[in-house]
Structure 1
Amino acid sequence: MILVTGATGSIGRHLVRLLRQRQAPFKALVRNPARGRELGGEYVVADFDRPDSLQAAMSGIDRLFLLSAGAEPTSGRQPMVAQQVAAIDAAARAGVRTVVKVSVQGASRSGKLASGAHWSIEQHLEASGLDWSILQPSGFMQNFRTGAGTFTAEGDIIGAYGDGRVPYIDCRDIAACAAALLTEYRDSAQRFVLTGPEALSHTDIAARLSAAYGRTISYVDLPPAQLAARLTAQGLPAQFAEDVAELQAGIAEGTAAHITSAVSDLTGRGPRTFGQFLADHQPATAEPH
């Protein structure tokens, strides 16, 4: 039996669909029973902030998909570390055999934002005695659909990326990789860096969004300090804003441009292009804002 955490999110809901297609037995972990009923399958109610509820949710589970929300932008806090460590500990006590965790590309001890938090969780998972696989995706294409990407009031993309390129990935492809790891036998103790098939600059992305929405969308590049000041003026904590700007400055230097074959290796097919992502979400996609 598989337990899917983050089941109602941008990756988890696609994973639930794929597991159902594969007729793989699973339960979705939800905090709200109404959200569980919306998924249309078996679910268990638990809360990452209540370790006792996690322990009960792990009963009868042998494979765990581990995903929870990252930093709280308004406070800069990273509750994810304590939450996922508690889930790993509960899984070990309950006799769970395998954990598939979603991390981030380039997770490291000194990483900014979620990178350092994910690195800490990865280390705990490695030391847990459980079998594990870690997915390290690049940025999500969905961020340009939901508004989670950074936009001006006029709807233009803003950042400190320069000409740096990112091989953004569709969350559906992340879910497909997770489904393969959860339902097929593979060697454990592996990290998979997941990317899309093309590394795009944010000027490239703006051009493709312009074509999709039928209006001009530009990329506005700012020096990192100016971007941090702008984010702080919008209400983000100063340290959080500075970390965002520093991360984007690293991308400007080419730190995120590498493309991997991991999606093809795990699923047997290539990842979706940004053009395919946009086409698949028309015309329902709201304009970026």
Structure 2
Amino acid sequence: MPESNPKVLVIGATGKFARLVMPALARRNVTVRALVRYLAKDVQTQVGATVDVIEGDLRNAESLDRACDGVDGVFYIGPAFAPDEAAMGVSMIEAAERSGVRKFVFSSVIQPTNTRLKNHASKIPVEEALYSSRLQYTILHPANFMQNIALAWPNVLETSTFSEPFPKTARIARVDYRDVADVAAEALTSDRLAFATLELCSEGLYHRGDIAEMMSEALGRHVEALEPSFAEWHRAGICRTTTISCISFQRFTSIMQGLGSAVTVLR
């Protein structure tokens, strides 16, 4: 049976995705501990006044042991594109086991076996470590995050165009990470999703024209769906992420038409 008032350690709590998990946990009366790399002055404001903040490093086993001490569950999303992402994930699992943590939720990626994408392949050793652990794990395979569309939103407002450097007719499974956060919170507060590996997406597969049409309706003006080359897209400054993320996205665009998966629809 789940604890009545569990404590959960959230990794990446100041990141744009893990931070969405904390409100979902709070709604379930969970005490949240946030692991942060540095105790910056504004970190408490970022994570919330009621959150217990602890400093730690995924490359430092002792700091992970301290972070896991006294917690019932761990939510883990790795630092995408880090060269040692897999090793850090395995270290987090080992620390959780040493500390007697019961539940572990790993936010992985849809189709981790698509090893042509390095940030997908790096999830495989972490999943394998969970499968062979003593932890009550739940592994999440979310589709493309809807929040990523926000990267293009300033350009949409400025130019009335929606551009991504892959075929505009490609239909992509997407998911709102707030829904993923709710699934994670459910897994961390009940046994219903124990030992499950779940592919998550919203209902419907939309191509860029469909999304541009939705944008047009919301803005009250026409938004055109464009299909630039990666070089054109990058040159235009639409890729408002780190250089390494853009490099990975370039690899992603080369295989987009091969992307497809059976999915679990969130309702």
Q: CA deviation at 1:201?
A: 0.7
Structure 2 equivalent of residue 245 of structure 1: 253
2:27 to 17, 21, 25: 21
Q: Which amino acid aligns with 1:125?
A: L
Structure 2 equivalent of residue 260 of structure 1: 264
- Give, in whole Å, the separation in 1 of the partners of 2:9 and 2:38: 16
Give me the CA root mean square deviation: 2.9
Gaps of 5+ in 2: 1-6
Q: Could you tell me whether the CA contact under 8 Å between 1:100 and 1:132 is conserved in 2? A: yes
Q: CA deviation at 1:55?
A: 1.6
- Give, in whole Å, the separation in 1 of the partners of 2:94 and 2:153: 31
Structure 2 equivalent of residue 96 of structure 1: 101
Q: CA deviation at 1:5?
A: 1.1
Q: Could you tell me whether the CA contact under 8 Å between 1:203 and 1:218 is conserved in 2? A: yes
- Give, in whole Å, the separation in 1 of the partners of 2:153 and 2:248: 15
Gaps of 5+ in 1: 72-76, 264-269, 271-289
Structure 1 equivalent of residue 14 of structure 2: 8
Q: Could you tell me whether the CA contact under 8 Å between 1:8 and 1:35 is conserved in 2? A: no
Q: Specify whether residues 113 and 221 from structure 1 end up closer, same or farther in structure 2 by C-alpha distance, changes over 3 A only.
A: farther
1:113 to 111, 115, 118: 118
- Please tell me whether residue 137 in structure 1 is matched to residue 142 in structure 2: yes
Aligned residues: 250
Q: Specify whether residues 9 and 240 from structure 1 end up closer, same or farther in structure 2 by C-alpha distance, changes over 3 A only.
A: closer
Q: CA deviation at 1:111?
A: 4.2
Q: Could you tell me whether the CA contact under 8 Å between 1:70 and 1:114 is conserved in 2? A: yes
Q: Specify whether residues 231 and 156 from structure 1 end up closer, same or farther in structure 2 by C-alpha distance, changes over 3 A only.
A: closer
Q: Which amino acid aligns with 1:78?
A: P
Relative to the length of structure 2, the TM-score reads 0.81
Q: Which amino acid aligns with 2:264?
A: T
- Give, in whole Å, the separation in 2 of the partners of 1:196 and 1:149: 24
2:198 to 182, 187, 192: 192
- Give, in whole Å, the separation in 2 of the partners of 1:215 and 1:150: 14
